[in-house]
Structure 1
Amino acid sequence: MKIGIIGAGSIGGTLTRRLSALGHEVRVSNSRSPETLSELAAETGAHAVWSSEAALDADLVIVSIPQKNVPDLAAGIVDTAKDGAPIIETNNYYPQQRDGLIADIENGKPESVWVAEHLGSRGADVVKVFNGIYWKHLLEKGQPKSAADRIALPVAGADGPGKALVFDVVEQLGFEPVDGGALADSWRQHPGTPVYGKDFDADGVKAALAEATTERAPEWSAAPA
C-alpha cells in the first residue's frame, strides 16, 4: 500500500517505522524540509518528502501533528490521495500543555471533527485512531491475533471501506481494532477519558468507551483567564 504520513513526531515517526517494516511504501514529511528527515528515511527506507507531496496517490494518509498546527496545513494537502483513501488523524488537544485555547473544541466540538473541517473536502474520510497509545507501546507491543494480552485500540469514523481499511492496518500492526462509532463519537477517546493512555483488551476498550462522559477534566481544558 502507498501511505503518506504528515508529521514525524513520536506517533508519526513510529508509524513510519512500523508500516515501512511491514512492506508498505511510505512517504513521510514534517513542517520543514525533507533533508531534516534523512536519518529516519535511511533507517526505514521511507521516502522523505515535502508535506505537500506526502499524500500524492496514497491509499492511506496519516496526519499526526500538534493540534494547534492543523489550521496551518496547506489547503488541499490531502486532496491528492486516491479517491476513497481514508485519512487517519492521531491528534490530541492539549490546551494547557501545548496548544492553547481552541474555542470550538472547548465548547464541545469533538477534536477529530474539528480536524476534519480543516481538511476540507476530504474531511468526510477522517478516521480517529492511535491518539491514546504510548508511542513506545505502538512501536514494541504489537501481538499476533491469538495473543491473550493483545492491546486493543478504538477506531472512530464513518462506516465503509475506508474504516475497514484502517481496521486492517491496526490488525497488521498487531493490535485489536474496536469500533468507536462515528467521528462525532470520537470524544470518547479524548485525553482524560477512561480509555486514553490505557492498554486495555477489546472488552476493556468497549467498557471504557461506554463509561466516557463529555465533561472535560480540568487538566485537559484551557486554563482560566
Structure 2
Amino acid sequence: MLGDHLRRDAERIGGGRKRAEINRLDIDGHAGEAVHDYPLLVGRVCVFPIFKNLWWRFKPGHHCMTRRKHMKIGIIGAGFVGRSVAQKAVQAGHEVMLSNSRGPQSLFSMKSALGCAVGTVDEAIAFADVIVLAVPLTAYGALPPEGFRGKVVIDAINYYHERDGHIAALDQGDTTTSEMIAAHLPGARIVKAFNAIRMVDLDVAGRPEGAEDRLALPLAGDDADAKAVVAGLYHQFGFDSFDAGPLHEGWRFERDRPAYCNLKPRQALADTLAATTR
C-alpha cells in the first residue's frame, strides 16, 4: 500500500540514509537548484552536485530536463494564489504572465506591482513552459485542453463545497481535484502543489537552504520530471519538498487533511502524510 511506502519514506528520512539513495523525488527539493546551476548529463545519468557531493539517478530513457534557471510561467487566476506565486517566481528570475477570465485590462496594475506580463488565458497558455492553475474548481472545465498537452501544469486548486457546490465524487473520496483536471486536460503533466500553504506563509515563511527552521511542502504527480520542476520551484521559494507519490495521492494534503496549511519540517511532513487516512 502507498501509505506503507510513505511510512517507509518517513522512517528513512528520520533514521538517516546514504546520500546516494534516491527515493522518487527524495532530494529535498534540490533537483531544481542543481539542474539550473550546472547539470551534468553523461549518457543517461543526471549528476546533481549538492553540498559539494554528487548525487545521481539512473533511469533508462530518463532525460535531465528537471528545470532550468529561467522558465516562462503562465498563471491562470489572479487572486491571492496567482499573485503570490507570480511575485515569488519573478523574484526567482522567471518570466511570468498573469491572466484571468476578465482579460488583461483588469490586471494593468499587476505589471508594475509584480513585474510580470499580463495577458489573456489563451496567451498565458501559449506563452508558458509551466502553467499554474489558481482558479476556483468550477472554472477548470472552461480551459482549452489542446493548449496544455505536454506542458507542466501545477494544480493549486482546492475544493471548497461552500464555494464550488457539493461534488459527490470528491465528497465520497472517489477521486481528487487533480484527477478531475487531468481527465479534462489529457497529455498535460499535472502536479498537485502550492495548494497546502497559505499565501501569506508563501510570502514570508521561506528560509535559506540548511536553515534549522526550513519547512517543507508536499507535491504529487505521475511525471517524475514534472515533479522535479515543481520541487525546484519550492526550493527557489525557500522550502524543501516531499513527494507524496502519484497524482491520486494528492488527497493526503487536500483541504481538511492534517498537512493542509499546517507547515512542518520535512520529517514531520513525511510522518503526517504517512499517517493520514481518508
Matched, 1:19 2:89: yes
Matched, 1:182 2:246: yes
Residue 221 (structure 1) aligns with: none
Residue 128 (structure 1) aligns with: 192
Shift, 1:57, TM fit? 4.3
Matched, 1:87 2:153: yes
TM-score (norm 1): 0.88
Cα distance in 2, alignment partners of residues 9 and 204 from structure 1: 30
Matched, 1:109 2:175: yes
Matched, 1:52 2:122: yes
Q: Secondary structure at the match of 2:74?
A: strand
Percentage of pairs with the same residue: 35
Shift, 1:3, TM fit? 0.7
Residue 223 (structure 1) aligns with: none
* Contact 1:105-1:114 within 8 A present in 2 as well: no
Q: Secondary structure at the match of 1:174?
A: coil
Residue type of the partner of 1:111? T
* Contact 2:148-2:187 within 8 A present in 1 as well: no
Residue 207 (structure 1) aligns with: 271
Describe how 1:146-185 pairs up with structure 2 within 5 A: 146-185=210-249
Shift, 1:193, TM fit? 0.8
Which sections of structure 2, spanning at least 5 residues, go unmatched?
1-70
Cα distance in 1, alignment partners of residues 133 and 147 from structure 2: 10
**CA offsets 1:28-87 (integer angstroms, 9 cap, x no match):** 1011110111111111221100001112142211111111111122343424xxx4x311
Q: Secondary structure at the match of 2:148?
A: coil
Residue 23 (structure 2) aligns with: none
Residue type of the partner of 1:155? L
Q: Secondary structure at the match of 2:131?
A: strand
Q: Secondary structure at the match of 1:56?
A: helix
Residue type of the partner of 1:174? G
Cα distance in 2, alignment partners of residues 93 and 44 from structure 1: 27
| Structure showing greater Rg | 2
Cα distance in 1, alignment partners of residues 234 and 193 from structure 2: 9
* Contact 1:195-1:208 within 8 A present in 2 as well: yes
Count of residues in Structure 1 that have an aligned counterpart in Structure 2? 207
Residue 65 (structure 1) aligns with: 135
Q: Measured at CA, do residues 63 and 170 of structure 1 come closer, stay the same or move farther in structure 2, by a change above 3 Å?
A: same
* Contact 1:4-1:60 within 8 A present in 2 as well: yes
Higher relative contact order structure (alpha carbons within 8 Å, sequence separation ≥ 6): 2
Shift, 1:175, TM fit? 0.6
Cα distance in 1, alignment partners of residues 119 and 144 from structure 2: 15
* Contact 2:137-2:159 within 8 A present in 1 as well: yes
